[in-house]
Amino acid sequence: MKKKATLHYIILSPLIGLAGTSMHFAHHVEVSDGVRDFFCHFFPIGETCWEHMKMIFFPMLLLAVIMCIKRLHDIKTSRHQEGSKSGSLEVSKSPFEAVGGPMLSATITIPIAIGLYFLFHIIAPEAELIADVIVYWAEMFFAVWLALKLNKVDAIRRSWPLWVAVAVLWVVAFWVLTCHHPDWELFKVPEDWLAIDPDGHGHSHHHSDI
């Protein structure tokens, strides 16, 4: 069982990390304004912390979908085996039990990523892109590992309606606040909130779009 869990982690972590990394290149694709206006709610369209949060949540939502599909397959297999043995079927299980781990993991990882985002840009505002990517992949490997661990907790699995609601709230928040947001640093590019230089003059660091 432990080897199987390790295999799942080895497979899922790069997959989810790659999905998130690919999201950040989506805004370079030439599409109509209508399509762009729709997908900007779900795909990062700039260098703000808010846009980077999408790169954590939506890959983890993808992980939740993958785990729900696997859970559904496991339930069908279990029911078939139980039905053939006893003639009875267990109806209490739900594939949505797999939602809790990824959604709780995303909710825990996002605040960590917010802190690392601001710390990273304050300490190394002109760092190379590769450093940004390494930090992101470390966050995603942690998020997937945590999701798989949390999904083993019975209380989290049984409270799946709560985590479905959390997923919906996250999606609604991204939909609304992407275009209608307060004037917080969370929604600003690093150039707008970086500290002034030692001479006392304001400065901006150009951080190219990924």
Residue spans of the domains in the chain: they are 2-78+94-192
Question: What is the predicted pLDDT for the residue at 90?
Answer: 44
Q: Give the pLDDT band (50/70/90) at residue 60.
A: very high
Question: What is the predicted pLDDT for the residue at 208?
Answer: 40
Residue identified by tokens 């940004």 is 132
Query: Which of 165, 42, 154 has the alpha carbon at shortest distance from 103?
Result: 165
Identity of the amino acid at 97: E
CB 166 within 8 A of CB 107: yes
With b for 16 or more beta-carbon neighbours within 10 A and e for fewer, the 132-160 pattern comes to beebbbebbbbbbebbbebbeeeebbeeb
pTM: 0.82
Q: What percent of the chain has pLDDT over 70?
A: 80
First to last CA, the chain: 39
CB 72 within 8 A of CB 64: no
Residue 142 pLDDT exceeds 50: yes
d(CA 74, CA 187) in angstroms, rounded, equals 41
